[in-house]
């Protein structure tokens, strides 16, 4: 054991699953009386939790590693540790190219015990489910599984995080209860494929039962992300519809709207199957908000394929939509197809698709002018506040800008993490504006 306990800054990159892993690591570190600091300037040890999902994420991770090494060479840090998806996938190359890092570890969820041991501490299994939250105190993520069994041709996640492993339901409920006890009001359920939950350990998909048990914990809002469309568990829809504290919201990454492209992507669905599923979801849960993501520039995506995607988006009119440019990833089944579409053309298609979505989103937002909405306030600054409706996940969806209030109400007294009623007074494509009425 080291005589002087480390002061650790944790630099988390990538997705919300990495956020959960870093929060678990920090809880373990604090149990060993290590100090977790909020600024790298106050640390002697830097732990970087990397992302290796696509090229841009890889480059960001490498840049952060190089920045950490520079700080170490300047004498501002004593140790730099790297864990997470990038170091899991490219450990040999990273050790050769950036040997100044003290140690490289694998995927963050698997390597937490090893990092704690390298810091001179003990990993405590009794702390499973304990986390030091890095999100605002009123919302938190609950990761219900690790890895993925889906065979998507473009995705390297199974190579980095392994196959799907569900976390037992009792452990998840305990973790949710701990989060609730910390004051969390909005629980965001995540996993690489949340719809697969339970199949590996219970022999059947159990997401419906899990959602009901989480609903009983007492959160004001529960939100479901990353629902895979193939073999979608339709039995979750009545739960979402009937449980008042489960947001009528599903994030379901579809990736494309052309059957030919979907087949090459190995998504297990056709365009018509997606249309039928979306119609069923909207019929079973009236007023549900659907969020999706699409990939443009997939190998050999012709203009006709892209036009099919545009037509699909125009027909469905998603409430929320994000878009990625295709990134060629080593060892995926799509890798041999090459990367035939230029970056300039991919960027053009992103602009065209997002231009269409901007139109759709603007029309949907403008239809809310004059309505009253329940708003969860995320932050209050300089006489204004920013919040979200139940139709919006943090960081990726619309915000409601509160710039006024009913007579006699002091807007500066709004509290982050509290719910209010607001009247929507104006709208833009990706933001709403409102005044507090209660």
In order along its 438 residues, the chain shows pLDDT tens digits of 445 789 999 999 988 999 999 999 999 999 999 999 999 999 999 999 999 878 888 999 999 999 999 999 999 999 999 999 999 889 999 999 999 999 999 887 889 999 999 999 999 988 888 999 999 999 999 999 999 999 999 998 888 888 999 999 999 999 999 999 999 999 999 999 999 999 999 999 999 999 999 999 999 999 999 999 999 999 999 999 999 999 999 999 999 999 999 999 999 999 999 999 999 999 999 999 999 999 999 998 999 999 999 999 999 999 999 999 999 998 999 999 999 899 999 999 999 999 999 999 999 999 999 999 999 999 998 878 999 999 999 999 999 999 877 776 778 788 999 999 999 999 999 999 999 986
Assigned superfamily of 7-127: Methylthiotransferase, N-terminal domain (3.40.50.12160)
CATH topology of domain 139-366: pyruvate-formate lyase- activating enzyme (3.80.30)
At 2 the pLDDT is 47
Alpha carbon distance 246, 244 (integer Å): 6
* Percent composition of the chain: helix, strand, coil (DSSP 3-state, to 5): 40, 20, 40
What's the pLDDT score for residue 383? 78
pLDDT at residue 411, as a whole number: 80
The pTM is what?
Answer: 0.94
Q: Are 354 and 360 in contact (CB under 8 A)?
A: no
Tell me 388's DSSP state: E
Pairwise CA distance, residues 314 & 15, whole Å = 28
User: What is the model's pLDDT at position 1?
Assistant: 41
Roughly what angle, to the nearest 10 degrees, separates helices 16-31 and 108-118? 30
CATH topology of domain 372-436: OB fold (Dihydrolipoamide Acetyltransferase, E2P) (2.40.50)
The confidence score (pLDDT) of residue 128 equals 84
Residues across the chain:
438
Token pair belonging to 157: 């996640």
What pLDDT shows up at residue 246?
98
Using CB atoms within 10 A of its CB, is residue 99 exposed (0-12), middle (13-18) or buried (19+)? Answer: exposed
Residues 6+ apart with CB under 8 A from 144: 166, 167, 172, 189, 190, 191, 194, 197, 210
Domain ranges in the chain are 7-127, 139-366, 372-436
């Amino acid at each position: 054991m080291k005589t002087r306990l480390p002061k650790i800054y944790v630099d988390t990159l990538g997705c919300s699953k990495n956020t959960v892993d870093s929060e678990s690591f920090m809880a373990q570190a604090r149990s060993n009386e290590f100090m977790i600091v909020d600024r790298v300037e106050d640390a002697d040890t830097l732990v970087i939790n990397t992302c290796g999902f696509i090229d841009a994420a890889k480059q960001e991770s490498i840049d952060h590693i190089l920045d950490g090494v520079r700080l170490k060479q300047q004498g501002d840090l004593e140790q730099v540790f790297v864990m997470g998806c990038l170091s899991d996938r490219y450990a040999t190359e990273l050790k050769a190219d950036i040997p100044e890092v003290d140690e490289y570890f694998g995927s963050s969820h698997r390597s937490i015990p090893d990092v704690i041991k390298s810091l001179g501490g003990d990993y405590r299994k009794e702390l499973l489910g304990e986390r030091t939250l890095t999100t605002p105190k009123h919302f938190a993520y609950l990761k219900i599984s690790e890895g993925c069994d889906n065979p998507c041709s473009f995705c390297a996640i199974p190579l980095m995080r392994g196959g799907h492993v569900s976390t037992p339901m009792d452990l998840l409920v305990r973790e949710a209860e701990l989060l609730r006890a910390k004051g969390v009001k909005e629980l965001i359920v995540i996993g690489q494929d949340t719809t697969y939950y339970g199949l590996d350990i219970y022999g059947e998909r159990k997401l419906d039962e899990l959602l009901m048990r989480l609903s009983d914990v007492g959160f004001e809002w529960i939100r479901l992300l990353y629902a895979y469309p193939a073999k979608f568990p339709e039995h979750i829809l009545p739960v979402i519809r009937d449980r008042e504290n489960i947001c009528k919201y599903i994030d379901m990454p579809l990736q494309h709207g052309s059957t030919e492209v979907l087949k090459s992507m190995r998504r297990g669905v056709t365009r018509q199957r997606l249309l039928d599923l979306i119609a069923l979801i909207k019929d079973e849960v009236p007023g549900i908000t659907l969020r999706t993501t699409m990939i443009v520039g997939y190998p050999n995506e012709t203009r006709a394929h892209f036009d099919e995607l545009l037509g699909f988006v125009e027909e469905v009119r998603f409430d929320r939509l994000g878009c990625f440019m295709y990134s060629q990833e080593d060892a995926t089944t799509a890798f041999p197809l090459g990367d035939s579409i230029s970056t300039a053309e991919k960027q053009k298609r992103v602009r065209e698709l997002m231009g269409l979505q901007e139109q759709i989103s603007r029309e949907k937002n403008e239809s809310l002018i004059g309505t009253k909405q329940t708003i969860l306030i995320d932050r209050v600054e300089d006489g204004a506040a920013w919040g979200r409706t139940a139709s919006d996940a943090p960081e990726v969806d619309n915000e409601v800008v509160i710039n006024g209030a009913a007579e006699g109400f002091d807007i500066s007294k709004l509290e982050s993490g509290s719910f209010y009623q607001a009247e929507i007074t104006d709208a833009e494509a990706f933001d709403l504006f409102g005044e507090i009425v209660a």
